[in-house]
A and B are shown apart, each in its own frame.
Chain A
């Protein structure tokens, strides 16, 4: 039972990451491969605030979201100068730079040793120390973010985003400032990823830079592409599938080390096969 709850918590965290990245990649058509950086900034901001000042988790999460949003604004502004595959490459760059900061700004992040002893969230004297209660919290966040995404993508704002994806010159001619739309959705997406980061940090109670590498960003991209571009339900299905997959491999009887690598092989192959046979993913409506 504990094990199933653990898996469910991971799925809800990755569903948040998938939903948030889908706003940028699926709905706006910007191939961003740097979501793990925002995930990490949220996690580190929360962890550092909780451990050093002992403030309330929800306040720390909120401050982490603001910090992430500001950094995303700057990054999004730089990235907005690029197109298509150069955009992807630039976003790689930011992921590597942020990762280096986690790794090397020793006085703040404790470097490769990471930050241990992050407390679980408390609310009005109640501590989410039981995993079952933590699941309620993380699943609640995931559901809330799902509805926010639904609201955004169904609104007139969301329609402009799709128009940018289809033809950003044409929509600019109609008088929309595409730069502001791209920046806004990039920041919203990053802030959502920061929520996932805060949850992750306080759930595992320990973070180190290795959770926020470029490979992690590729994994999040795989969730979005597998589930389906421009489909909020798809992002959730992608997270469910890609989190369950390595667990199934473990049950089949592969040893842990091999299972971890098999998971990488399988999601690499999934990316290739999807590109070859179904570029819009399982339930997506847009193809790259």
Chain B
């Protein structure tokens, strides 16, 4: 049996997860203009909320997922209101915001660890009994297929929102020039608040899907986030489609990179790609 079809499928699955993280991250970066690392911890928040409601209290699967997505979004807005909004009002540099978001990430993931312990958990009740599909000789599970479809759906809906709705245009306007948007009567604080809600909800969803696919642990967010950031940068930061393109590219590079060497090198490969891109094409593939 040839290994190539499975490698291709694995690359696409990885790309689907990364693209989801990159979508939310890009949305926030494109509007608020700073690297929000606290965003990573929200993936863990989403995953653990579902763990609490679905595996702990035994609530219906779909209700738990909706709750998980909502809780991540709400915490994202809360953090924005408490931490980032005051800092941005004071015109703090992007480095100050970066350090503050590092603090958010460290604190949030440890709070999750205190509540749920730092043990690795799985979300699905019937692990191993999942439905499996075969595409061109590569194996894909149901969760992974759902991830792929949701990723594409989210990308399309964000793209459509930006193009056709007033809300989307307002987000774009705030991203282009916050001062001028204020002058023309856009409530920028409110718009950015919504952006944080949507972005964080997407992060939560990504965390939930990873939880069903492999499992959850409090520190899962950092890894996901860094991959999302790398995907955004190589695809073109602030660009919705660029992030997705970068995510799939990263998925392929990672999975084909470990074809001949050990899988442990994945992260090193991802960051080597990031540094090469930052050096030679810092604006990414698709420029905004």
Contacts and interface: CB of A to CB of B under 8 A. Distances in A.
Given A88-B98, A100-B265, A268-B108, A93 B103 contact: no
Interface in A53-75: none
Contacts of A96: 226, 267-268, 271
A86 B98 CA distance: 10
A275 B107 contact: no
B268 A258 contact: no
A107 B126 CA distance: 40
B273 to A, nearest CB: 9
A267 interface: yes
B103 A221 contact: no
B244 interface: no
Contact of B106 (A101, A258, A268): A268
Interface in B83-125: 83, 86-87, 92-100, 102-111, 113-114, 117-118
A86 to B, nearest CB: 6
Given A268-B110, A275-B92, A89 B102 contact: no
B118 A261 contact: yes
Interface residues of A, number: 41
Contact of A93 (B35, B99, B114, B271): B271
A262 B110 contact: yes
Residue from B99, B233, B272, B278 whose CB has the most chain A CB atoms within 10 Å: B99
A78 B271 CA distance: 13
A155 interface: no
Contact of A92 (B86, B107, B226, B279): B226
A148 interface: no
A94 B274 CA distance: 10
B264 interface: yes
9 contacts: A84-B93, A85-B94, A93-B271, A104-B262, A261-B110, A264-B110, A268-B105, A275-B96, A288-B95
Interface of B: 34-35, 83, 86-87, 92-100, 102-111, 113-114, 117-118, 222, 226, 229, 233, 262, 264-265, 267-268, 271-272, 274-275, 278-279, 282
Given A261-B111, A268-B104, 6 more contacts: A84-B93, A85-B95, A104-B264, A214-B222, A271-B106, A275-B103
